[in-house]
Amino acid sequence: MDKVVRKALELLEGARHVAVLTGAGMSAESGVPTFRDAQTGLWAKFDPQQLATAEAFAESPSRVFGWYVSRLQTVRRATPHAGYDALVRMAALYPDGFDIITQNVDGLHSRAGSENVVELHGSLEAFRCSACREVFSTDRVIELGEGDGEVSAPACGKCGNFIRPGVVWFGEMLPREVLERATQVAYEADVVLVIGTSSLVYPAAGLPDIVSARGGRVIEINPKATPLTPRVDLYWEAAAGEALPQLVDALQRTEGGKTEGRND
């Protein structure tokens, strides 16, 4: 067994509640561009921060709405990779608690079959009124445009204000209930897997420190070191699609051995 896999198993031994924190690197393996790379065609001339603020939406609703239609269509063409499937299998090994906190807005965890997913920054699959928060059909959004140009933002049928994507824009606070849930997960976790995140964006970047401050263990899986790396119990230098299937295969073999032992 590979040394890094063995170390991960040691850190997970005895854990009852496992948390997973994922970032852009997780979905990039499925072909979803990272936020700053999602600029193609018409959008190549824009800084993404010019398209992800309430001010930008107020100035040009059709431009911002068109960009999000484009992103939604890109995400819907993506397929969850083997790492997502491994997390679904891993959840079955921790019936007392297995939660995923993601900074991604692509919905790939849920599409892969994961439950207990906390979407910190919202979802591209959720559209709502910018004023009264009335929910708007995502399928209807897809019908509005082909995704590589401006799209007229539809009006809310309830109050008449523009429909907006259900994501957290720059300058906006995370929804209180979402942040509270993520923090609760961190306080309950015995181990947290930090996967494919730059560990630069707060408050998400502070969640592993909550786990470690309580005596929990932190395993980081990332092809590149991050500001978190010096503080983790294990740094696994690999992509999620490579590391997670190895880890879960090893966990299942270990669990199988324990079950056989109990049946003897």
Catalytic residues: 121
Fill in the amino acid letter for 147.
G
Distance between CA atoms of 162 and 216, rounded to whole angstroms? 45
User: From residue 132, how far is each of 127, 135, 153 by CA, in Å?
Assistant: 12, 9, 15
Scanning the chain, the segments in alpha helix (DSSP H) are 3-12, 24-28, 54-59, 61-77, 82-91, 108-112, 138-144, 176-188, 207-213, 240-263
**Which candidate, 144, 111, 112, places its Cα nearest to that of 127?**
144
Distance between CA atoms of 205 and 21, rounded to whole angstroms? 9
| Cα four-point dihedral sign 109, 114, 118, 124 | positive
For residue 73, how many other CB atoms are within 10 A of its CB? 16
Fill in the amino acid letter for 33.
P
